[in-house]
Amino acid sequence: MKKTNYKWSVLSIALIAIFLFGMIFPFFWILITSFKPDGEIFGDGAYRIIAQNPTIHAYIEVLFNKGILNSVKNSFIVATTTTVYIIAIATFTAYAISRFDFKGKNLLLGTILGVSMFPQMIVVGPIYNLFLHLHLTNSYAVVLPYSTITLPIAVWILVTHFNQIPLALEESAKIDGATSLQILYKIVFPLAAPGVFTTAIIVFIAAWNEFLLTITLNSDQSYHTVPVAVSFLRTQFQILWSEVSAATIIVTIPTLIIVLLFQKKIVSGLTSGGVKE
């Protein structure tokens, strides 16, 4: 019996190690590629872990000559603004869906989920025409259509978390004389905080990584976000892979730091909505 358990433990560790290697290897390979000169990225040098002539030229180029820092700033502005207004709308919407019974409730939830499945290519044309007529292209107004990709999933996640909060707590507060706003801010929202925080992180990362809407609505380079800026690291004849790798490392660091700092809250939020008490 002990030998069997030992074998399963070794197999589990091996599978976990393979999974982690598969997850980490792409990031590791991009990291070592960012320090290679262009001549070593292809050919025999492509398989070397340590470059023969390591250089930080790609980092200097993207930081000081290609405007990647301005793109990081734009991404922070867009992602933060999107997160704030989407969470505000999604929180009240999800609470209303969770607590009130009305006709078409299931249909509404199904519609919300269905909207999140729409390909962006379907909506980007009408959105561009609307922005063009309103003179909102090349601006931070791009955060408005971000709701098409972030709001449905935010509402869906938060409905699950509000469903886990016992209705008896709100009824007790009403008996004690609490108003509807007091119940929301003093009882419901604090209990739903882990789910709201987790949803905010998911919305932030989705907005940070968004590409199609930004490149369509903001042709001006000064309003390019990180994914768009990285896609322009090329010449007429080639892609500047060393600069792309360096830019990828630079722009991954902020989201990586956020996830590492708040990983406990993220896990808490994900698990609190997944177990029915």
Mean pLDDT of the chain: 83
Dihedral-angle region of residue 104 (phi above 0 means left; psi in -120 to 50 means alpha; beta otherwise): left
* CA pair distance 262, 215, nearest whole angstrom: 30
* pLDDT over 60 at 270, yes or no: no
Q: Which of 72-81, 189-198, 252-261 is predicted most confidently?
A: 72-81
Q: Crossing angle, helix 105-116 and helix 68-99, to 10 degrees? A: 160
Q: What is the full DSSP assignment across 52-95?
A: SS---HHHHHHHHTS-HHHHHHHHHHHHHHHHHHHHHHHHHHHH
- The more confidently predicted of residues 263 and 125 is 125
pTM score, whole prediction: 0.82
Least confident of 49-63, 119-133, 155-169, 263-277: 263-277
* pLDDT over 80 at 137, yes or no: yes
Q: What does residue 231 show for φ and ψ, rounded to 5 degrees?
A: -70, -20
The separation between CA 102 and the C-alpha centre of its own chain, rounded to angstroms, equals: 32
Task: State percent of the chain over pLDDT 90.
Answer: 14
Written as six digits, the tokens of 70 are 């301005």
Tell me: the pLDDT tens digits for 17-44? 888 888 888 888 888 888 888 777 877 6
Tell me: the pLDDT tens digits for 206-259? 899 889 899 999 988 889 998 998 888 887 778 888 888 888 888 888 777 877
Tell me: the pLDDT tens digits for 143-179? 999 888 888 889 988 888 888 888 888 888 888 887 7
* CA pair distance 41, 162, nearest whole angstrom: 51
- The more confidently predicted of residues 243 and 45 is 243
* CA pair distance 57, 242, nearest whole angstrom: 9
* Fold category of 58-272 in CATH: MetI-like fold (1.10.3720)
pLDDT band, very low/low/confident/very high, at 277 (cuts 50, 70, 90):
very low
pLDDT band, very low/low/confident/very high, at 129 (cuts 50, 70, 90):
very high
* pLDDT over 50 at 111, yes or no: yes
